[in-house]
Amino acid sequence: MIDRSLLHIEKPARYMGGEMGSITKSSPEVTFVLAFPDVYEIGMSHLGFQILYDILNQPEWLAAERVYTPWPDREEQLRSTGAGLATLENTTPIGTADILGFTLQHELSYTNILNMLQLGGIPLLAAERDAGFPLVIGGGPCAYNPEPLADFFDAFLIGDGEEAVLEIAAQYRLWKSANKPKDSLLAALATIPGVYIPAYFSASYHDDGRIEKIIPLAGINSVKRRFLSDLGAAPYPTSPVIPFLKAVHDRVSMEIGRGCTRGCRFCQAGYIYRPVRERTPEEILSAIDATLEATGYDEVSLLSLATGDYGCLTPLLKELMQRYAESRVAISFPSLRVGTLDGELLEEVKKVRKTGLTLAPEAGTERLRSIVNKGITQEALLAAAKSAYGAGWRLIKLYFMIGLPTETMEDIEGIIELSRLVKREGKLSGNGGEVNVSVSSFVPKAHTPFQWEPQISYEEILTKQEFLRLELKKKKLNFKWHDAPLSVIEGVFARGDRRLGRVLQEAVKLGCRFDSWGDHFRFQKWLQAFANADIDPRFYLRQRELDEILPWDHLDSGVSRQFLLAERQKAFAGEFTPDCRSGCTACGVCDFKTVRMNLADKPEELTAAQPRHEAAAQDFDRIRVRYSKTGRMIFLSHLELINLFTRAIKRAGVPVKFSQGFHPHPKFSFATALSVGVESAAEYLDIEIDANFGAERLMAALNSVLPQGIAIMAAQSIPAKSPSLSAITELVSYRVTLPEARADLAQRVETFLALDSCPFSRTKKHGVQEYDLRHELHSLSSTADSLTMEIGRGKPLEFAAAITGLAPETLKGSRIEKLEVIFKDLSL
């Protein structure tokens, strides 16, 4: 059943489901709902979410479904109607799920978690949830200090999830079939390596607020992180869910390695994802081949904490270019480390198109880079910039932090000077020299050598940001920064304890949502929440004593406390710790049996695949296609529909002609854009394909990959010089079914037809559009609850409002069907 209320909110495609790659199961034994505490476009970009979705859907008895935080307009709808938050796959109310698993990616998503629980009718406090409610669990980087969330969760998974999630689901299945109390489920889960039950621990506090001791309550003193020993053997989603609307990262995401060997002292990910485990080039190529075929994406991102350190990167990249350059698949990276960026690498990447290039010096001076163990010299950075500009890049993004330990104003000035020198390299190359300078504020994180350090104050952040803004502007450098209030809240919760749960509850009561979105963040409400909970946020930003008990001390990341303390001491001495690829640094993670660094061997030669060749321009045929758009597909906008067809053409292997220019696009054109919410059996597009492919084969190929609700109904070849669809469209036939029958509808139709004129005006972006509804109406008939019309210009609801005398708001629930298009010269 179609939820037409989605037509009254922004981006209904966020909630419609039915994407290619999504999996729907009927009556599974266990339903595991994966919950992402942010909006759909963000969640659909997260690779870990896709990996777990794929793994959890493999057993027949288990079903994974998805839910994302509803945007405020959708939340208002749910609250006003009393409808609960439900999944995309089966519209399963999350309150009826067996397991509800939240991904914990960043601290500013915590209010969204509580809000989602409320929208699902689930009690916030774990202590108030009996066996009739879902098991609420969390995992991800924030699970390494989940204490601010401890009161709300039944369990957390610390570490890699690929194997553990199935073990959790299997234990739940056994418990569910045995019909035992919830306590027995928690006890069983606690036996799974990496699973932390917060109810099994409590804390006492000194009078000054510091933790006195962490008290084990169930005979478990600490919980050690879960390790995935062989990344290559883990399942990988080669048929991921493909979003209808554009996600933040709209591409194939290929994790080539996990972990980092560099040891940057501020970087939590570098410590909690140790040791480095790499996939082989053959495994990577196989996964990319399958994923491109299944998705139709035109970009592949090679993901790792240190992509440039992947030992087989250059041969891998050459093979990817050999395979995909001619089919216009681009290869991109996250930020690259200076020193791994060479001319050979740049030459390969630019063969398709120049994706973004980000370099991360982190600090403005070599002194401060030594403190944080970022072994980058100014000369190396400028050499990398010179290579990039010389290879044709016009824009380089530089990433820095302020507030690092021992920072002085000289280090801040170093950011400006280093950015200026990078810009100069671009000007000397003749390729422009555009530089974007992005600056965030350092937030000390758990399980790092800087976990004891203070975070600079809100006022100091603002002072340094203003200095950078003014000085960078003088140098004509673009400046982006992370808002100071957001950094403050992130810092509080990053090293917070269980007492902050009261603050979270107060913040949600006050309406805090989407706190990582600057236009939704409300600092004053947060300050009020702290006041209501009688907690001073500055307490959590302070320097920690080296012998102080920290809230996460009972959670073992694998990296020893002794190593972190030694790294802190080396930092303040300016001593460098080498990359552990060159020798073990004795951090404590590896047991050198199951947990060890696992690097891919350099292949002697990669098996070269034949590239796809495009047909010559004179070999193309123009095909006119008629298709239908029904069911939940009515929620797609015209832009989303173009995106859908672009990917479908690629998935179907249709040899389509491309436009010329820097960003080539497949050559197809639609008739007029169909409004969101309108069903249609008469949509048209023209597409240019290889003449040897043929219209019937095109129709079959597209129907094999299009989602339910989009179907090709007819296809035929037309002359290459045929007029465009928009040029030959004369009339369109619609049927409007009203929300309820009207006894006077036939009389109103007769009255309207008797009119000589019915002027109408519509305010548009570029002015007022005026036309006459009566003159644009060519035929009109009715039943008790519907109008069928043929019209030229105008929208069917505009005519329906004029005919019935009803306000457009009253007609919003009407069903609109596009029945036929009448062409001037051609009917298909």
- pLDDT > 80? residue 139: yes
pLDDT tens column, 678-699: 999 999 999 999 989 999 999 9
pLDDT tens column, 422-451: 999 998 888 778 899 999 999 999 999 999
Percent of residues, the chain, with pLDDT higher than 90 = 80
CA 337 to the chain's CA centroid:
23
Structure-block tokens of residue 733: 């036939």
- pLDDT > 70? residue 617: no
DSSP 656: B
Greatest alpha-carbon span in the chain: 92
pLDDT tens column, 248-267: 888 999 999 999 989 999 99
| 339 vs 131, residue with greater confidence | 131
pLDDT tens column, 70-97: 999 999 999 999 999 999 999 999 999 9
Instruction: Identify whether 93 is preceded by a cis peptide bond (ω within 30 of 0).
Output: no
User: What average pLDDT score do residues 287-295 get?
Assistant: 95
pLDDT of residue 349: 66
d(CA 314, CA 534): 56
- pLDDT > 80? residue 128: yes
pLDDT of residue 614: 47
Percent of residues, the chain, with pLDDT higher than 70 = 96
pLDDT tens column, 310-340: 989 888 988 998 888 778 888 887 766 776 6
Structure-block tokens of residue 531: 């006041």
pLDDT band at residue 358 using 50, 70 and 90 as cut-offs = confident
**What dihedral do alpha carbons 463, 469, 470, 474 form, nearest 10°?**
150
Structure-block tokens of residue 184: 């027995």
Among candidate residues 543, 524, 529, 516, the one with its CA nearest the CA of residue 107: 516
The pairs formed by 310-315 with CB atoms below 8 angstroms and a separation of 24 or more are 310/256, 310/257, 310/278, 310/600, 311/278, 311/599, 311/600, 311/602, 312/280, 312/281, 312/600, 312/601, 312/602, 312/603, 313/340, 313/345, 314/344, 314/345, 314/348, 315/281, 315/602, 315/603, 315/606
Give the sign of the dihedral formed by CA 268, CA 270, CA 276, CA 277: positive
| Spatial CB neighbours of 317, under 8 Å, sequence gap ≥ 6 | 331, 345, 348, 349
Mean pLDDT of the chain: 92
Contact yes or no for 689/623 (Cβ under 8 A): yes
Rg (CA), the chain: 29
Among candidate residues 259, 280, 253, 305, the one with its CA nearest the CA of residue 51: 253
pLDDT band at residue 470 using 50, 70 and 90 as cut-offs = very high
pLDDT tens column, 762-779: 887 778 889 999 999 999
- pLDDT > 50? residue 827: no
pLDDT of residue 357: 79
pLDDT of residue 114: 98
d(CA 701, CA 649): 8
- The amino acid sitting at 812 is K
Q: DSSP secondary structure string, 341-377? A: --HHHHHHHTTT-----EEEEESSSHHHHHHTT----
pLDDT of residue 188: 98
pLDDT of residue 306: 86
pLDDT of residue 828: 45
Contact yes or no for 145/551 (Cβ under 8 A): yes
- Cα distances from 303 to residues 249, 260, 277, in angstroms, run 12, 12, 13
Instruction: Please give the span between the terminal C-alpha atoms of the chain, in angstroms, as a whole number.
Output: 31
pLDDT of residue 341: 67
| Spatial CB neighbours of 283, under 8 Å, sequence gap ≥ 6 | 232
